[in-house]
Structure 1
């Protein structure tokens, strides 16, 4: 207990930064804040190293599981890239609309300046080709001479100002048109890559469907299927225990995020219908909740923490684990793809990935699990009731 309290005290500055609660004193010394951030960054690097070791030391898989891993990992990358391209296309569309509006505004201002300059030149023309000479010759009325000279001076200044404004408008209009052309060109490239990626996605999904059907053919009976599911769960338990042990041996253990104080109040990682509950599901689904939701639905972090694992695992498919400190972890399985990477700090509500059907699932959904001290506990004891 004393050791836990000491560790919590040592990590308190990092905890404030991690949770983003704005509790740090404005009088706090900048070096200590930098130190805390450096410790958190170092922790992120340690977590990446642990995850990399776990990925390279997996136990041998059968040929069918390895093939499924390869195709679903490729699918995840395609989905991730498609999401990034869609986001870039939306951003480019907004930028193009803004540049087009700016171009039209500049063109209208340029037209106004030209019309004003034309009026000034017309007024000057009406004075004759050599108004200054007329002024010199017309010396019988000094007052009129002063008024006319003042008018000519103002007219000259106004004309020069209009010419300067026109030059600035021409330069800005040229820059805007050039930027617009670049955005349009990039948008065309994004559209081409989107089309190519969509074709690749269709091919990969067809390949996966064939592979899953072949995997299902292995089960001559329901008993054989249940035996395979039990093997998957046993493999998952071994891997998850190893994750827990590696985290316990870290030089800089993840700091507390006070998750114990939020029991019964955590938000749902995704809204959907419950397909199986704690100790009701089969195989790897036995220790958590299986939530049905549409493919691609964002999966949210239920509490602040650090991503400690994001990889494909037999039975789970694409699995992402968040460590919340206090020996509490949340698992998110069957993801379509990952949005957060290993070592990343996440806050409540941050997107971790998207709902999918990885792991050979017949339908999309999110498997959600809560572990405390390495042991699975009913997630419904931690998350709020569904609205």
Structure 2
């Protein structure tokens, strides 16, 4: 490649100026703030509410950290490959810059075509030199960014491990605070015998939902309906995650269900989207552990696939109150094969169905989702 062609090729190369590590830095600050809130939670009058906010803060920080770490890794890999691929051209560029900066005597600037050729060569050199120097500056910036990103990756990994440890500690503290909690309002008293009979006679979620009213005949169930429940829509999702399947989409076995399937990280916290009465909490059919919330009469939120439930039938939860935890575990080094330490969307799945009256409805009528 001639020097002119080399110069044109280098000047045409794209230059990336974005800071791929800013997300990771912001996430590190969020994790540090969550750690501070964990320390202050013990002094809170309502430890359950304080620890719930702390767990969610950790989960938000960890989610952002995974995204930031992945972006930094992709950027560093792309820069390293680009620099490696252009290694020979970079060497030639350095040679050109060395020649331009040579302080040799007048003979080195003499042109074979005489004074006129020398003038033309000088004008060309004068026009190209600033561009070469600018490209060299970009090269130095890329090299510095690679170094910075590699340092950032190590720092992010340390913050990720610290955050994973902190969120586990917060979840443990939350579980203990819930176990110690007293005085949670109740709308009705659960009858385990009648519940067991209903479950044994149930073949579908529809049948079970329809039969719930039989369990509490003569007892008030739904909390007093907030005047602004309709105005609160869209409600926050009950768990941090990514929608895997929309209502009516078939799964791998060809089964279609009217609710959302949400991928979550291991041990993610599930919370009540609105103030609601717990109509049921326990295993059900092939749905695993199920919690059914009733925010108002004739409206049910079905949450299925939990690993642990913090609630009992009859209790009234405030908006944002802890419902339970998803399954899965995190490795001691902060990198889980099931995904919490990495950039995967999540290994656990929560199924959420919304029922109005006797029929399931599209959950997107009530909830803000990241798809659809």
Greater relative CO, 1 or 2 (CA 8 Å, sep 6+): 1
Q: TM-score, normalised to structure 2's length?
A: 0.40
Structure with greater helix percent: 1
TM (norm. structure 1) is: 0.39
In our comparison, the structure showing a higher alpha carbon Rg is: 1
